[in-house]
Structure 1
Amino acid sequence: MSLHIESTDEALEELKKQRTKTLAAAISVSFLGVALMGLLLYLVHIIAAIPEDPPMVAYATQEGDNPDIDTPEVTQTTQRPSSSSAAAQVKVIAAVASADVAVVNPDIDVEIPTEELSTGIDIGDGFGIGTGDGDGGGIPGIVSKRCDLNDRMKRITENGGTPQCEEAVVKSLRWLKKQQNGNGSWGDGQFKASMTGITLLAYLAHCETPLSEEFGENVLKGISFLVDLGMKNPVISEQPGLKEVCYDHAVATYALCEAYTFCKQMDIPSISNLERVVVKAVDRILDAQCPNGGWAYSYNNRINPNIDLSVTGWNVQALKAAEHGGIKPTKGEIRTALRKAAMYCRKNVMPDGKFSYKENGENPRSSLVGVGVLSLQMTGNGSDSAARKGLDWIKNNVKTLEWGKGSGTENVKSNLYMHYYCVQAAMNRGGDVWASYNKAFRDAVLGGQKPDGSFSNNDTGYAECLSGKSKNIYRQCLATLMLETYYRFLPGTGEGTKNS
């Protein structure tokens, strides 16, 4: 006997509804489970992606003699941030110490800042794109323009240079890299501060900063060496009582002001005590200015026979770099000091366009024409009759440059000190003055470079007190800075025509 239940139509319909409800519930539960799992994975991903604070380590140095400065390595590794762009990874110095010495701090990797971070370094009043009044050029309005190879090459060719100019600069910077001392300085003897300063200027002109891949460590060590001196001594010099400290301190201050500006404009974390030393150094220059507007040996600010245009030129450059960097001194106003300096420079011009070593025509020299003109341009007085006379002399007298021939400060063919200033003054003026001067110096400087990147031995002018190693550094940097003028400065328009 079999037992079964015969289904009715009503029962089948009810069963169908029940199955539908069960299936819908199952689907809902599955969907909710998937959603919860996705949310859990997302939270895990977010937590894992939160970056850890980079390791920050402060290194303090001992008091006393300056030890060799070695860039410390961070033992804890950090992961480079990913970037969808082609920007290279570079090193940033994190300054966290408060000791009264420069501290070489550990580095971490970040991306190269974009152009928007750079608002410009230009030489000051009336500089930038020239208007024909003689104040022309200046350091380019956007720092990153100098830092971009393609733009740098464009400026070189537009302003009358060649690709060989860029090649020569890079070879020179590599040669200088090999000459750096273990404590971060360059040169030997009494003037390591000024030799380190002028070397840093050559690196900074090529946009080599503490961020640079190839030269960043060298630049950082050089800056740290100068900051150490500035923290320990009343002036940036290893021998504060030296008569020529007015050169040592001025060149070093010039370099540190540019370094400070780069750090600020390119959003580079500042090096410990850099700003503090820069303010102190600028204060010293302002305090040392003489009543007639010039500067003297030993930074004696009384009227005396030691006030001269050569000393004044370097101090004007340092103040101009400080003004651009927004340095706020405590001993006076930079603009006031520059106005006084212009008054002094005007007293040194001669009827034929030469400038005298001391005011009122004492010891006129061809080698000081560029010093006088550039100083007037930097103080915003490039259209003065004194500056115009000097520019006319440059245009009419500097026709050829033969490397290594002749000697003495009056020899215009081999005096790199003279040409360092004249190149800048001519570029600032632009027009036919620059066109003629460019032809005179470009190939001569290129022809003086050896295969190893150094420049041939020749008279550099005003280097009598330098020893052999420092004299080589001095010559090297003057020649390099001349070749970097193509992109470090923008040409003026002369008489309304921009010549390249």
Structure 2
Amino acid sequence: MSLHAQLSPEAQAALAAQKRTSTIFALIISVLAFALVLLVLMVIALTINLKTPPEIISYASGVSEDETIDRPEMTNQVERKPSAPSSSMAKVIASASTSPTAVPIPDMEITEPSLDFGNGDDFGDGWENGDGDGSGGGGFGNLPSSMKKRCSKADRLARLQKEGGNEACEDAVVKSLKYFQGSQNADGSWQKKHRVGYTGLALLAYLGHCDTPSSPEFGETVEKAIVYLVNVGMANNGKLATDLDDKQWPYEHGIATYALAEAYTLCSKQNLDLPNLKEVVEMAGLHIIDNQHTNGGWAYSYEQSDGHVDSSVVCWQLQALKACKYTGIEIFSKSSNVARKGLEYLETCQSDDGGVMYRPKSAKPPTMTGGSVLCHQQWGKGSRATVRKGRKFIENEVTFGYDTEDSDLYAHYYYGQAMINFGGTTWKNYNELFRDDILNAQNADGSYKAPGGGKKIKGVATAHFVRNAHYRTCLATLMLEVYYRFLPGSSSQ
């Protein structure tokens, strides 16, 4: 006789059914749990900004080991705010070598007015070929006070109204930035020849509107432009040009140094760490300091005792150095003595009537008057007699008409920056002279039509921007950013 109780057939059937039910419920619960975990992971993935770090390529130059400077440790990726991702990051070339430096000569600190953008008189004979609503993403509270007003759409519009602009000026700037976005090369540059200079000009236009790599609409365009210039600088030990055999490459170097220094200032205030940006700014700025001409200016090919020196090249170097000083990088804190010599050279180019010539006693038109006035203002010398004389010359002699021979865009961007710094009726009269003419000259695609109306424009090398739509669109856009790019720093009325 068996000692184990036997289940009836009915009980066995009920037990089997219960087991099947338990198994089904267990499977359902497992599937639901798995689905829940998967959903949580998907949410986390969507909220985290995953960015592939830029590819760092080691580049060996031929600099000897004793020609070195101390450098901060280079970073290997771009750190951004999670709220503003970018879809791509171009290659960044990291140099394995270092570059020689010279210690700037100490000088007395100078009162700093605004850091206004300016253009020179020409790019030299070889240049013919060739939405911001705080869109930077915030974090600009510790910018230099002169730069803050550009980084909020509300502040920009308020500044436009106060200084005689209007909302059409803002709309025109945005249209131009969209035009640049559509014409950018795959490597982040613009144009085919003199790409470094033309890229620097476009980048300045974006930065003037406070568009940085974290901007929603233009961030990727800005990032690619910065990376392109950094690549060039790292490959050439801080020299910002693609053709160093072209004697006029200091134009490109000055423009690009200006743009990268300003980019560093804006990016650093947002905690955006672009690989090697600071290193290139340091090398590029020191190259300007180390290669000043004996007459106080700067020459083609950066010759120091020979070569061609002119006021247009000089103004670009002075603006670049001022932008470098604004970065807060220590090596530029005592660059005033270099600037003083540069300003002294500009004074040698001024004629008795106040006009500033391309070179001392030059027969060419005095189209660098605005550039000289502006550089003096930037470096705290806005009260000098040379500035007062230049102001009177501009007030009495300068006219503008986009479709006339008086449409030297290169000279007039300088005029605009200088005149808004004076303020009062001086600025009011000049603003009425140029604003509407510039607005009416914009094409539907955001570019600008050729100025001059078929007439030969009075100035130096004006044919360059007549032939080059990118160049003249950069100039016109920067002119319309005058209202907020920097706050007036030397008003005398």
Gaps of 5+ in 1: 1-46, 65-79, 82-88, 103-110, 123-138, 407-412
Question: How far apart are the structure 2 equivalents of 1:50 and 1:405?
Answer: 60
Question: How far apart are the structure 1 equivalents of 2:461 and 2:274?
Answer: 31
1:291 counterpart residue number: 294
Aligned partner letter, 1:350: S
- Per-residue CA distance 1:236-294 (angstroms, 9 max, x = gap): 11111211111011101000000000011233x21101001110000111111112211
Aligned partner letter, 1:349: Q
1:353 counterpart residue number: 354
Pairing 1:100–2:94 present: yes
- Per-residue CA distance 1:313-332 (angstroms, 9 max, x = gap): 111110010001113348x9
Tell me the CA shift for residue 365 of structure 1.
2.6
Pairing 1:479–2:489 present: no
Question: How far apart are the structure 2 equivalents of 1:279 and 1:306?
Answer: 26
Contact 1:296 1:308 in 2 (8 A): yes
Question: How far apart are the structure 2 equivalents of 1:402 and 1:314?
Answer: 25
Gaps of 5+ in 2: 1-39, 60-80, 97-134
Tell me the CA shift for residue 492 of structure 1.
5.4
- Superposition pairs of residues 309-324 of structure 1, within 5 angstroms: 309-324=311-326
Contact 1:242 1:298 in 2 (8 A): yes
Question: How far apart are the structure 2 equivalents of 1:383 and 1:316?
Answer: 18
- Per-residue CA distance 1:70-106 (angstroms, 9 max, x = gap): xxxxxxxxxx97xxxxxxx3237999x996169xxxx
Q: Match for 2:197 among 187, 194, 200?
A: 194
Question: How far apart are the structure 1 equivalents of 2:246 and 2:331?
Answer: 24
Question: How far apart are the structure 1 equivalents of 2:185 and 2:478?
Answer: 21
- Superposition pairs of residues 99-138 of structure 1, within 5 angstroms: 100=94, 114=138, 117-121=140-144
Report the 3-state secondary structure (helix = DSSP H, G, I; strand = E; otherwise coil) of the residue aligned with 1:362. Answer: coil
2:214 counterpart residue number: 211
- Superposition pairs of residues 238-277 of structure 1, within 5 angstroms: 238-267=242-271, 269-277=272-280
Tell me the CA shift for residue 347 of structure 1.
1.7
Q: Give the % identical residues.
A: 38
Contact 2:247 2:301 in 1 (8 A): yes
Tell me the CA shift for residue 300 of structure 1.
0.6
1:432 counterpart residue number: 425
Pairing 1:162–2:181 present: no
Runs of 4+ in 1 over 3 A off after TM superposition: 47-57, 61-64, 92-95, 111-115, 459-469, 491-496
Aligned partner letter, 2:451: N
Q: RMSD value over aligned CA atoms?
A: 3.2
1:91 counterpart residue number: 85
1:60 counterpart residue number: 55
Q: Match for 2:282 among 275, 279, 284?
A: 279
The alignment's TM-score, normalised by the length of structure 2, stands at 0.72
Contact 2:88 2:220 in 1 (8 A): no
Question: How far apart are the structure 2 equivalents of 1:428 and 1:184?
Answer: 33
Tell me the CA shift for residue 362 of structure 1.
3.1
Contact 2:203 2:259 in 1 (8 A): yes
Distance 1:186 1:53, change over 3 A: closer
Residue correspondences, number? 388
Tell me the CA shift for residue 224 of structure 1.
0.5
Report the 3-state secondary structure (helix = DSSP H, G, I; strand = E; otherwise coil) of the residue aligned with 1:307. Answer: coil
Contact 1:350 1:364 in 2 (8 A): no
Comparing 332-341 with 214-223, greater Cα deviation is found at 332-341
Contact 2:86 2:219 in 1 (8 A): no
Q: Which has the larger radius of gyration?
A: 1
Distance 1:214 1:427, change over 3 A: same
Task: With a CA cutoff of 8 Å and minimum separation of 6, indicate the structure with the bigger relative contact order.
Answer: 2
Contact 1:402 1:444 in 2 (8 A): yes
Report the 3-state secondary structure (helix = DSSP H, G, I; strand = E; otherwise coil) of the residue aligned with 1:365. Answer: coil
1:395 counterpart residue number: 395
